[in-house]
């Protein structure tokens, strides 16, 4: 078995994920866009126009000096949430551009779109789970592989102080005629002939926000026409697919907020405007109470007599793209899950929902900390599995992952929800898929909205072990699929005094054996000391970020080394 090294090494909260490179420069500093010439103005080559109300003409404006550095965030985002614009260069070698800017301009926020690849990572890591080898005593056609991905997942940190919240519309369908927003709507008047550049950009920002708000309402109201009105016709086919995917998943919240911009690009014949936007979204659950997931992406706009429209929309960065951004989906909603599959799998959707609902009912028995409002389950072919959420898996041994997401809840950015992805081309539609979903929903229910996940050497075994325990259910230890691997691995000296995560040097036996040791470790502490103490121990460490050494003393009244000694002795005796 060949695995990429980056598929193995867990990233603990003490270790950052390397960021991606941001987009290239958008050109020179923005200039004031031209205005429509007045009838009595000097005639010449017409310049680009701004959307504005009425028939009042605004003379062509001369270019203004570059916009000064702002002294406050360009939006409601806190200062530490706004990464630098792509044109900003670090003043010191090795210094992040935002740090360089902060040193040069204390309290200021660099202008320009947020390069979503630069958004701060969520601490975590990802480790492949190895398939158990067939035990000779059993007649087994295939073995089950379950994989967890606890990967860095954040869009950007901080709070949305004034995020827009759509009302839930009573009508099942709706329609918006014409442009999403008529030019000139809003609180800011169209800029005059001598308006400074800051006024023009502020006006365009408000116009863009109005377009986004109207589009969100159209989506929630089921109006495809209103949704498409925000886009140039060249995007209509692509965005019709996105609309259909979101409505199939019963999107219940889709709040836009401009994160940065607009930043003018005057390099072409017509000025365009780059705007970074953030979206908080939910499925099925009421917008006022749901656990939202946040994404951020860059957009490019054209401003003209017809209003402002988006002509380009990038995929979200950091933990993106989310499946509905890049794949046409069909979905089914059950009592506890939203289950989505590519349209090519539509004939298996009912089957997928049935398996997902059963796994969710099993997982709910472990909602000792906070019960998920809704499990979101995506089932992928190989093509989607290698793309969704930037998984990039190049090994067929990775069959599924669970992804912690952050979102805006009550105006605050916080760990909020989980997305789970299953590679059905790798599991098949039988027992393999069932086991993968049960395992991954085990992660979702035990780590849902965890305030400070800790996925480190001293917690890995319980994070994976409890997911295995939830999948295994009430079957006897003799029926555990990995017991044969644990026996051989222990025979080679494994799990002798500790249970450590797999690493890039592990073979299939070592990887599977370690997961099996984690399962037996969780089984031991629950059987010996009770479920209440385990949930307290898990909550203090894996969910709240405390060390296992401190928690063992507080919960079990003994050192972590002594507790692990008991666990490894039990493993040795069991196998």
The distance of Cα 121 from the centroid of its chain, to the nearest Å, equals 11
CATH topology of domain 319-449: Zincin-like (3.30.2010)
Q: Give the sign of the dihedral formed by CA 523, CA 527, CA 532, CA 536.
A: negative
pLDDT for residue 178 is more than 50: no
pLDDT for residue 571 is more than 90: yes
Dist. CA 308–CA 302, nearest whole Å: 6
58-71 pLDDT, tens digit per residue, is: 223 333 333 322 22
Q: Could you say which DSSP state residue 540 is in?
A: I
Q: Is the pTM of this model over 0.85?
A: no
Q: How high is the pLDDT of residue 377?
A: 97
197-317 shares its CATH topology with 319-449: no
Q: Based on the number of CB atoms within 10 Å of its own CB, is 485 exposed (0-12), middle (13-18) or buried (19 or more)?
A: buried
Q: Could you say which DSSP state residue 366 is in?
A: T
pLDDT for residue 108 is more than 50: no
Listed in sequence order, the residues at least 6 apart from 172 whose beta carbon sits closer than 8 Å to its beta carbon are 222
CB atoms within 10 A of CB 398: 25
Using alpha carbons, select from 43, 88, 54, 48 the residue that is nearest to residue 70. 88
Burial track 62-96 (b if 16+ CB lie within 10 A, e otherwise): eeeeebeeeeebbbbbbeebbbbbbbbeeeeeeee
Residue 185 pLDDT class (50, 70, 90 cuts) = low
Using alpha carbons, select from 557, 572, 438 the residue that is nearest to residue 495. 572
Residue 9 pLDDT class (50, 70, 90 cuts) = very low
Dist. CA 573–CA 219, nearest whole Å: 59
Q: Please name the helix (run of DSSP H) or strand (run of DSSP E) that holds residue 443, with its range, or none.
A: helix 431-447
Dist. CA 194–CA 378, nearest whole Å: 53
Residue 407 pLDDT class (50, 70, 90 cuts) = confident
Dist. CA 190–CA 133, nearest whole Å: 70
Strand partners, 329: 342
Q: How high is the pLDDT of residue 488?
A: 94
CB 343 within 8 A of CB 331: no
pLDDT for residue 121 is more than 50: no
Higher-confidence residue: 398 or 60? 398
415-455 pLDDT, tens digit per residue, is: 888 999 999 998 899 999 999 999 999 999 999 988 888 88
Q: How high is the pLDDT of residue 392?
A: 66
Q: How high is the pLDDT of residue 507?
A: 83
Higher-confidence residue: 152 or 560? 560
Q: How high is the pLDDT of residue 11?
A: 34
User: In the chain, what percentage of residues exceed pLDDT 90?
Assistant: 49
74-84 pLDDT, tens digit per residue, is: 233 332 233 33
Q: How high is the pLDDT of residue 394?
A: 59
pLDDT for residue 123 is more than 50: no
User: In the chain, what percentage of residues exceed pLDDT 70?
Assistant: 67
472-496 pLDDT, tens digit per residue, is: 988 999 999 889 999 999 999 999 9
pLDDT for residue 197 is more than 70: yes
305-361 pLDDT, tens digit per residue, is: 778 999 999 999 877 799 999 999 999 999 999 999 999 999 999 999 999 999 999
Using alpha carbons, select from 421, 457, 436, 445 the residue that is nearest to residue 564. 457
pLDDT for residue 497 is more than 50: yes
CB atoms within 10 A of CB 432: 22
Q: Coil, strand or helix: which one is 9?
A: coil
Q: What angle do CA 307, 313, 314 make, to 5 degrees?
A: 155
Dist. CA 417–CA 422, nearest whole Å: 17
Per-residue pLDDT averaged across 161-174, rounded?
A: 24
Q: How high is the pLDDT of residue 393?
A: 64
Q: Based on the number of CB atoms within 10 Å of its own CB, is 234 exposed (0-12), middle (13-18) or buried (19 or more)?
A: exposed
Q: How high is the pLDDT of residue 220?
A: 96
Q: Coil, strand or helix: which one is 237?
A: helix
Structural domain spans, the chain? 197-317, 319-449, 451-574
Cα atoms in the Cβ-side hemisphere of radius 13 Å centred on 38: 9
The dihedral over CA atoms of 63, 66, 68, 69, expressed in degrees to the nearest 10, equals 140
Using alpha carbons, select from 385, 394, 322 the residue that is nearest to residue 4. 394
Strand partners, 403: 419
Q: How high is the pLDDT of residue 191?
A: 82
Per-residue pLDDT averaged across 5-20, rounded?
A: 31
Residue 32 pLDDT class (50, 70, 90 cuts) = very low
Residue 258 pLDDT class (50, 70, 90 cuts) = very high
- Kindly report the average pLDDT of the chain as a whole number: 72
Dist. CA 407–CA 309, nearest whole Å: 27
**Does the bond joining 321 to the residue before it have cis omega, within 30 degrees of 0?**
yes
**Helices 531-538 and 508-529: angle between axes, nearest 10 degrees:** 120
Dist. CA 434–CA 413, nearest whole Å: 33
**CATH number for the domain formed by residue range(s) 197-317:** 3.10.450.50
Per-residue pLDDT averaged across 409-413, rounded?
A: 77
CB 294 within 8 A of CB 280: yes
Strand partners, 265: 272
Dist. CA 435–CA 433, nearest whole Å: 5
530-545 pLDDT, tens digit per residue, is: 999 999 999 999 999 9
Listed in sequence order, the residues at least 6 apart from 349 whose beta carbon sits closer than 8 Å to its beta carbon are 330, 331, 332, 339, 341
Listed in sequence order, the residues at least 6 apart from 272 whose beta carbon sits closer than 8 Å to its beta carbon are 264, 265, 300, 301, 302, 311
């Amino acid at each position: 078995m060949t695995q990429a090294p980056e598929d193995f090494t867990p990233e603990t909260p003490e270790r950052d994920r390397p960021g991606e490179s941001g987009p290239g420069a958008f050109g020179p500093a923005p200039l004031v866009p031209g205005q429509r010439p007045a009838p009595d103005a000097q005639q010449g080559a017409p310049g680009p126009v701004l959307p504005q109300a009425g028939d009042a003409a605004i003379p062509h404006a001369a270019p203004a000096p570059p916009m000064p550095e702002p002294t406050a965030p360009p939006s409601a985002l806190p200062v530490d949430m706004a990464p630098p614009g792509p044109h900003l260069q670090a003043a010191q070698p090795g210094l992040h551009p935002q740090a360089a800017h902060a040193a040069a301009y204390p309290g200021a926020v660099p202008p320009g779109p947020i390069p979503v690849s630069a958004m701060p990572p969520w601490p975590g890591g990802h480790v492949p789970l190895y398939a158990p080898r067939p035990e000779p005593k059993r007649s087994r056609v295939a073995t089950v592989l379950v994989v967890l991905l606890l990967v860095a997942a954040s869009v950007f940190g901080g709070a949305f102080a004034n995020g827009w919240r759509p009302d839930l519309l009573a009508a099942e369908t709706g329609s918006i005629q014409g442009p999403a927003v008529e030019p000139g709507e809003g609180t800011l008047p169209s800029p005059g002939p001598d308006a400074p550049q800051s006024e023009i950009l502020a006006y365009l920002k408000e116009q863009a926000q109005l377009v986004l708000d109207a589009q969100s309402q159209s989506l929630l109201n089921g109006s495809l026409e209103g949704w498409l009105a925000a886009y140039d016709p060249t995007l209509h086919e692509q965005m019709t697919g996105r609309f259909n995917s979101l409505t199939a998943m019963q999107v219940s919240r889709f709040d836009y907020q401009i994160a940065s911009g607009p930043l003018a690009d005057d390099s072409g014949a017509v000025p365009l405007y780059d705007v970074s936007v953030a979206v908080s979204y939910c499925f099925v659950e009421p917008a006022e109470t749901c656990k939202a997931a946040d994404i951020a992406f860059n957009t490019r706009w054209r401003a003209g007599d017809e209003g402002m429209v988006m002509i380009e929309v990038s995929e979200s960065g950091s933990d993106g793209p989310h499946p509905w951004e890049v794949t046409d989906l069909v979905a089914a909603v059950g009592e506890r899950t939203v289950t989505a599959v590519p349209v090519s799998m539509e004939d298996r959707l009912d089957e997928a929902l049935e398996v997902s609902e059963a796994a969710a009912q099993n997982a709910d028995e472990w909602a000792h900390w906070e019960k998920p409002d809704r499990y979101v389950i995506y089932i992928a072919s190989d093509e989607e599995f290698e793309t969704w959420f930037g998984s990039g898996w190049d090994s067929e041994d990775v069959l599924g992952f669970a992804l912690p997401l952050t979102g805006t809840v009550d105006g605050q950015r916080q760990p909020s929800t989980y997305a789970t992805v299953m590679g059905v081309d790798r599991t098949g539609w039988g027992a393999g898929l069932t086991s993968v979903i049960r395992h991954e929903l085990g992660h979702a229910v035990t780590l849902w909205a965890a305030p400070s996940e800790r996925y480190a050497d001293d917690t890995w075994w319980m994070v994976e072990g409890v997911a295995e325990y939830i999948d295994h259910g009430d079957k006897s230890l003799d029926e555990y699929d990995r017991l044969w691997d644990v026996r051989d691995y222990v025979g080679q000296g494994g799990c002798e005094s500790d249970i450590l995560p797999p690493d890039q040097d592990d073979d299939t036996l070592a990887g599977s054996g370690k997961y099996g040791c984690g399962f037996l470790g969780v089984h031991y502490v629950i059987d010996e000391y009770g479920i209440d103490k385990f949930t307290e121990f898990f909550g203090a460490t894996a969910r709240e970020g405390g060390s296992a050494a401190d928690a063992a003393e507080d919960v079990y009244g003994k050192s972590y080394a002594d507790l692990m000694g008991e666990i490894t002795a039990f493993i040795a005796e069991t196998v």
